[in-house]
């Protein structure tokens, strides 16, 4: 797992704006957290990549802001839904469709979406970086999100 | 508890998930998520999108010694992180910010009280206590303001806000929220600019009260 995940994580963290030395440190922390908290990971609720994404972003933000991030309370299972194996398969399919939806995005939209999820740029900063008016950037993010949302709607 | 009708917009959930949202607003978003299954579902969807981007991106070779460093670190005893769970009317993220202590209310007059929980260059978050029937002082906003109800409810020109509901205000929203009859209304409010409480106290005094 380490050999597969660590380089991807490092690439991701660098794209999130970390310099290589910091990226190594974050990858080390995240790998450690993944191993330590593996027992807490519930495959009925999320894909592993979604869980790892959040751990990586949280660690990065905690280092940058020096303030530990607020985390929502767990709401537990929806009443009436029993966790079962089909949920795991459903989530796997959802992950595949998501990757497909992302690959289908127009390059402009994809660029904005990537920036938004990497969290290194705010809407305001995205617009000053690209010289685009803020309204266009926002609607591009919204447009890209709308398409992702449509993909996800059918799956929920 | 009546259903939550005022939610966090999707873009803000993305900003929260990715960490670009200022800390004060993240406190409100995380607190709303502590009540709201709908928004937790969006949170899950956006994490999945982030995960897909992580999985499909290019890798970068890691230092040859990194693996053994991680394995060595695994042998060291883990320092347990403090866990802050919901207590009374306060969701986990508020308890986290309070570090488990009860709020330290400071009176603002007319029975209205506040406790400033967090402040940095990007914004501030506070608890507000508003007695039933009491108007939250008429204020307009310089920037973005999020107000989440933790107890009771308030109403203004745009509707009614009960426990778990969040009102999003910006410079275009001129409103006069009033706490409804019943329990005092307690809110978590975050803003990225000093609030201008107009009918309430002279501007010059505001720095003293840090409003
Ligand atoms: Zn919601």
Please tell me the predicted confidence (pLDDT) of residue B193: 64
Q: Do B55 and A8 touch (CB under 8 A)?
A: yes
Over residues B131-135, the mean pLDDT reads 92
**B12-B16-B17 Cα angle (round to 5):** 115
Cα(B11) to ligand 1 centroid in Å equals 13
Q: Which domain holds residue A5?
A: 1-71
Same domain as A99, residue A49: no
The phi and psi torsions of B24 (rounded to 5 degrees) equal: -60, -45
Residue A32 in this model has a pLDDT that exceeds 90: yes
Query: Are A60 and A89 in the same domain?
Result: no
Residues A30 and A92 in one domain: no
**Res A78: pLDDT:** 62
> What is the distance in A from the centroid of ligand 1 to the CA of A107?
31
This complex has an ipTM of 0.83
Contact state of A11 with B57 under an 8 Å Cβ cutoff: yes
Q: What is the pTM of this model?
A: 0.85
For residue A153, give the CATH number of its domain: 1.10.10
Q: Which of B40-54, B61-75, B195-209 has the lowest mean pLDDT?
A: B195-209
CATH class name, domain B7-211: mainly beta
Query: Among all residues of chain B, which has the CA nearest to that of A155?
Result: B45
Per the prediction, chain B carries an average pLDDT of: 85
Would you say A45 and A77 are in contact if contact means Cβ atoms under 8 Å apart?
A: no
**Cβ separation of B56 and A103 shorter than 8 Å?**
yes
Band of pLDDT at residue B174, cut at 50, 70 and 90: confident
pLDDT of residue A156 exceeding 60, the answer is no
Phi and psi torsions of B99, nearest 5°: 50, 35
Of A121-130, B27-36, B124-133, which gets the smallest average pLDDT?
A: A121-130
Total domain count for chain A?
A: 2
**Reduced to 3 states, what is the DSSP secondary structure of residue B148?**
strand
Cα–Cα dist B142/B172, whole Å: 9
B64 Cβ neighbours under 8 A, 6+ residues apart: none
- Enter the DSSP assignment of A121: S
């Amino acid at each position: 797992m380490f050999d597969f995940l660590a380089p991807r994580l490092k690439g991701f963290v660098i794209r999130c704006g970390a310099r290589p030395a910091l990226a190594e440190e974050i990858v080390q922390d995240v790998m450690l957290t993944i191993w330590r908290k593996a027992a807490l990971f519930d495959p009925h609720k999320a894909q592993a990549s979604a869980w790892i994404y959040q751990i990586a972003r949280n660690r990065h933000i905690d280092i940058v802001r020096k303030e530990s991030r607020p985390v929502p309370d767990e709401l537990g299972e929806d009443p009436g839904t029993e966790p079962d194996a089909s949920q795991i398969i459903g989530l796997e399919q959802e992950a595949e469709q998501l990757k497909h939806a992302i690959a289908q995005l127009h390059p402009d939209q994809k660029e904005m979406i990537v920036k938004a999820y990497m969290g290194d740029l705010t809407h305001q900063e995205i617009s000053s970086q690209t010289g685009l008016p803020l309204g266009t950037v926002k609607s591009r993010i919204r447009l890209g999100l709308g398409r992702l949302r449509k993909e996800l709607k059918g799956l929920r | 508890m009546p259903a939550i009708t005022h939610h966090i917009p999707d873009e803000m959930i993305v900003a929260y998930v990715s960490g670009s949202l200022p800390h004060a607003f993240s406190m409100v978003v995380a607190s709303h998520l502590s009540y709201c299954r709908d928004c937790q579902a969006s949170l899950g969807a956006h994490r999945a999108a982030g995960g897909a981007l992580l999985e499909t991106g290019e890798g970068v070779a890691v230092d040859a010694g990194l693996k053994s460093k991680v394995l060595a670190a695994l042998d060291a005893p883990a320092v347990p992180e403090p866990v802050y769970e919901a207590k009374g009317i306060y969701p986990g993220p508020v308890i986290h910010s309070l570090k488990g202590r009860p709020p330290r209310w400071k009176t603002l007059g007319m029975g209205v009280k506040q406790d400033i929980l967090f402040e940095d260059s990007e914004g501030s978050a506070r608890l507000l206590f508003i007695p039933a029937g009491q108007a939250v002082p008429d204020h307009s906003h310089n920037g973005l303001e999020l107000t989440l109800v933790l107890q009771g409810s308030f109403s203004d020109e745009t509707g009614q806000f009960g426990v778990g509901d969040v009102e999003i205000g910006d410079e275009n929203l001129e409103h006069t929220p009033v706490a409804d009859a019943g329990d005092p209304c307690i809110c978590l409010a975050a803003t990225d600019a000093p609030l201008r409480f107009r009918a309430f106290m002279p501007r010059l005094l505001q720095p003293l009260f840090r409003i």
